[in-house]
């Protein structure tokens, strides 16, 4: 298990909980920092979809969730410039991930381990 050392560390800690396979970790646990109790686990897609079926979420899924949550805050008394900037940057990240996928579709390699 490997601790992720970026992000919010005041109240929670994140660990990669599996061995790298297909070039990355696929399972992460977010736990309370004070008592170590697990709050949630995230499972990412493991392996190419055409070879392994859909078996986990994708980066875009988590980014979409965070954008939606921040937009809710922006429609409340908790709106702020920092949230607006974060939304913009997350939308930009989503754009580039989708751009990558579109390129893979055009090359006929989307969902495979081909580069």
d(CA 112, CA 47): 8
Span 26-74, pLDDT tens digits = 999 999 999 999 999 999 999 999 999 999 999 999 999 999 999 999 9
By CB atoms closer than 10 A (0-12, 13-18, 19+), residue 98 is: exposed
Percentage of the chain lying above the pLDDT 70 cut: 100
Note the pLDDT of residue 11.
Answer: 93
Note the pLDDT of residue 102.
Answer: 97
Note the pLDDT of residue 7.
Answer: 74
Beta bridge partners of 44: 57
- Dihedral of alpha carbons 88, 101, 105, 53, sign: negative
Closest listed residue to residue 90, CA positions, set 68, 58, 105: 68
Terminal CA-CA length for the chain: 29
Q: What share of the chain is helix, strand, coil (3-state, %, to 5)?
A: 40, 20, 40
Note the pLDDT of residue 45.
Answer: 95
What pTM, to 2 d.p., does this model score? 0.89
**pLDDT-derived band at 6, boundaries 50, 70, 90:** confident
Tokens coding 26: 């696929």
């Amino acid at each position: 298990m490997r601790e992720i050392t970026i992000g919010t560390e005041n109240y929670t800690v994140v660990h990669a909980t599996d061995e790298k396979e297909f070039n990355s970790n696929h399972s992460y646990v977010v736990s309370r920092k004070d008592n170590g109790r697990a709050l949630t686990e995230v499972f990412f897609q493991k392996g190419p979809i055409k070879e392994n079926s859909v078996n986990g979420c994708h980066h875009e899924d988590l980014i979409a969730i965070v954008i939606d949550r921040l937009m809710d805050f922006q429609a409340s008394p908790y709106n702020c410039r920092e949230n607006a900037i974060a939304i913009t940057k997350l939308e930009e990240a989503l754009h580039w991930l989708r751009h990558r996928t579109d390129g893979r579709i055009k090359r006929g390699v989307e969902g495979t381990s081909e580069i």
